[in-house]
């Protein structure tokens, strides 16, 4: 089934899930996107970071307590399996007394869940490393809403006659909708509901002060909760989802229906078509990223205000650790790419560039054993950071190794992520941090997009041109870094363990755009679960 089974529980409940891997010839791990896993670090689902992946015909039991409420989701975190349909929603509900925005809506129903995903008409692995003579690269063929939709073949114009998703409401009531962006490719998306405003009340599971918009632009891994007031005349209304930059040239869209009780099954208005440029009233997350000051036509995520208290130490002038992380693409020449006795991970990008994805010029490689439970089994010469690289990487432009950054336990960390890709398209890389939420302190991009290196951003900071929020910065766990821009986030590193930070575009993660943060010592962690699976290199004596 697509999407996979929904999990709907209350805050404080314990979830136990047995995952049975019946995929022939493939391993599997499930990540619980948005769950902080405090005290249950071994069940985060990051393969070779927190667990061994589940081998074929094996079962692994995940078990954890749901301490942080909100709209989350689960998905495969091995290979490209999420693109092929292994994902589903995970909703952790609060009581009305705990939900600071509960006064805004009458109903919070499971049938008002919007899970959007991109979809290929073939297995995702067929696009990696890519077909040189194909023009699809890693773009989707279509997009879906709750697994439903219609597809029009661009060559024959044939349209599949399948059902659209229908969301039913009663007039004069207000409804909470929970939207999950489960995209895998580089497309951003925009959601619009005909003749209805959307009141944003939560982002990535964390409440914000109510903010009214007419459209929501989102990228892979983000979640937005909004309220729809069903105060229009009794009718059915179009819900339109469009794939935007850099996929907008394909004109991919999907429709669903908001149906009032007593209204016809099909809207009486003209079916919307994909039209550019956009004219959507007030847009959340504008793609031009001009977010330095409030605007009348758009609201940036850094303009939202947290509706719950923020750690006052987040506003300290000097954090305990300040980390610059740049991400970019490394372009191979074909002679190096296919040199003997080695294998390089790469994808074929537009203009037929053969590239890998790197952070701080390091191509992330997963270790042979989980960092969390088998650190002693990992060869030390495979672990690296910006100041220490393995011997075999000294003379290389990029280094494939397990990139680990140490964070001060319980300290305030400032993370500055900078897009050094120099890609002209409006390509917004979404970065997701496992085990944490963070506060959005600043989102920046220069007027002419010339500030696109970590060194330049650091110079701006040194002269005081990098501003930070002074009050109520919103919480998130996934942040879209503007095209050739940067973001500043802060968090308290109080959740010990090994936590993956990665681009949520699935092909970018597969080709190296990730690193791991290490927090605390083994004594700060719960013990490794009894009989926890082990894996790793097989090197019998003699070597």
Nearest one of 302, 282, 285 to 428, comparing CA atoms: 285
**Residues 86, 184: one domain?**
no
Taking 60 as the threshold, does the pLDDT of residue 38 lie above it?
Answer: yes
List, for residues 90-135, the tens digit of each pLDDT value.
Answer: 999 999 999 999 999 999 999 999 999 999 999 999 988 877 666 6
pLDDT band at 466 (very low <50, low <70, confident <90, very high): confident
**Residues 89, 103: one domain?**
no
Backbone phi, psi, residue 155, to 5°:
-95, -50
d(CA 287, CA 243): 13
Residues 6+ apart with CB under 8 A from 445: 289, 290, 291, 451, 482, 483, 484, 485, 486
Average pLDDT score over the chain: 92
Model pLDDT, residue 256: 97
In a domain, 15, yes or no: yes
**Residues 411, 520: one domain?**
yes
Model pLDDT, residue 234: 97
Model pLDDT, residue 134: 64
Structural domain range at position 261: 99-284
**Residues 331, 428: one domain?**
yes
**Residues 461, 432: one domain?**
yes
Taking 70 as the threshold, does the pLDDT of residue 82 lie above it?
Answer: yes
> Total structural domains in the chain?
3
In a domain, 289, yes or no: no
- Name residue, tokens 């993660």: 509
Helices (H) then strands (E): counts for the chain: 3, 33
List, for residues 355-382, the tens digit of each pLDDT value.
Answer: 999 999 999 999 999 999 999 999 988 9
**Residues 43, 86: one domain?**
yes
**Residues 356, 332: one domain?**
yes
Averaged pLDDT, 494-517 = 97
Q: Over pLDDT 70: what percentage of the chain?
A: 96
Please tell me the chain's helix, strand, coil percentages from 3-state DSSP, rounded to the nearest 5: 10, 35, 50
**Residues 395, 520: one domain?**
yes
d(CA 69, CA 91): 8
**Residues 70, 113: one domain?**
no
Model pLDDT, residue 395: 59
Model pLDDT, residue 289: 78
Taking 90 as the threshold, does the pLDDT of residue 430 lie above it?
Answer: yes
d(CA 356, CA 363): 8
**Residues 360, 440: one domain?**
yes
CB–CB of 155/217 below 8 Å?
Answer: no
Query: What residues are paired with 487 via a beta bridge?
Result: 417, 443
What CATH number is given to the structural domain containing 172?
A: 2.60.40.420
**Residues 342, 245: one domain?**
no
Model pLDDT, residue 132: 64
């Amino acid at each position: 089934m697509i999407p996979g089974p929904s999990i709907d529980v209350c805050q404080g409940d314990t979830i136990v899930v047995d995952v049975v891997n019946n995929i022939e010839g493939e391993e599997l791990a499930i990540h619980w996107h948005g769950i902080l896993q405090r005290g249950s670090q071994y069940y985060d689902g990051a393969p070779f970071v927190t667990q061994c992946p589940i081998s074929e015909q094996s079962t692994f039991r995940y078990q954890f307590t749901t301490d942080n409420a909100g709209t989350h989701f689960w998905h495969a975190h091995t290979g490209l399996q999420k693109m092929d349909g292994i994902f589903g929603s995970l909703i952790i509900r609060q009581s009305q007394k705990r939900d600071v925005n509960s006064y805004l809506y009458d109903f919070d129903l499971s049938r008002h869940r919007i899970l959007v995903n991109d979809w290929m008409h073939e297995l995702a692995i067929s696009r990696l490393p890519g077909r040189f003579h194909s023009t699809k690269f890693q773009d989707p063929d279509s997009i879906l809403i709750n697994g439903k939709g219609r597809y029009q073949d661009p060559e024959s114009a044939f349209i599949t006659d399948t059902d659209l998703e229908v969301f039913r409401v009663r007039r004069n009531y207000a409804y909470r909708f929970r939207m999950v962006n489960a995209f895998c490719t580089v497309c951003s998306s925009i959601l619009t509901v005909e003749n209805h405003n959307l009141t944003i009340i939560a982002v990535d599971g964390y409440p914000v002060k109510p903010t009214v918009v007419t459209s929501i632009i989102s990228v892979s891994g983000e979640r937005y909760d909004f309220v729809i007031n069903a105060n229009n005349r009794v009718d059915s209304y179009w819900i339109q989802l469009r794939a935007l930059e850099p996929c907008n040239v394909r004109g991919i869209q999907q429709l669903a229906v908001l149906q009032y009780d007593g209204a016809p099954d099909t809207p009486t208005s003209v079916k919307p078509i994909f039209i550019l440029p956009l004219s959507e009233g007030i847009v959340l997350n504008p793609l031009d990223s001009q977010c330095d000051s409030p605007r009348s036509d758009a609201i940036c995520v850094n303009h939202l205000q947290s509706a719950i208290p923020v750690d006052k130490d987040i506003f300290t002038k000097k954090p305990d650790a300040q980390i610059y992380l740049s991400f970019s693409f490394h372009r191979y020449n074909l002679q190096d790419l296919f040199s003997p006795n080695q294998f390089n991970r790469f994808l074929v990008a537009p203009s037929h560039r053969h590239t890998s994805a790197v952070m701080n010029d390091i191509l992330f490689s997963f270790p042979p054993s989980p960092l969390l439970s088998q650190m002693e089994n990992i060869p030390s010469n495979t672990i690296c950071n910006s100041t220490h690289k393995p011997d075999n990487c000294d003379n290389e432009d990029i280094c494939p190794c397990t990139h680990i950054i140490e964070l001060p336990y319980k300290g305030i960390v400032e993370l500055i992520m900078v897009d050094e890709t120099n890609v002209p398209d409006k390509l917004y890389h979404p970065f997701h941090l496992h085990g944490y939420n963070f506060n959005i302190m600043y989102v920046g991009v220069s007027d002419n997009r010339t500030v696109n290196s970590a060194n330049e951003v650091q110079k701006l900071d040194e002269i005081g041109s990098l501003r930070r929020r002074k009050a109520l910065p919103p919480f998130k766990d996934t942040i879209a870094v503007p095209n050739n821009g940067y973001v500043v986030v802060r968090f308290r590193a109080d959740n010990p363990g090994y936590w993956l930070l990665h681009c949520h575009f699935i092909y970018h993660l597969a080709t190296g755009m990730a690193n791991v943060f290490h927090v605390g010592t083994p004594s700060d962690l719960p013990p490794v679960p009894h009989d926890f699976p082990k894996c790793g290199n097989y090197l019998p004596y003699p070597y």
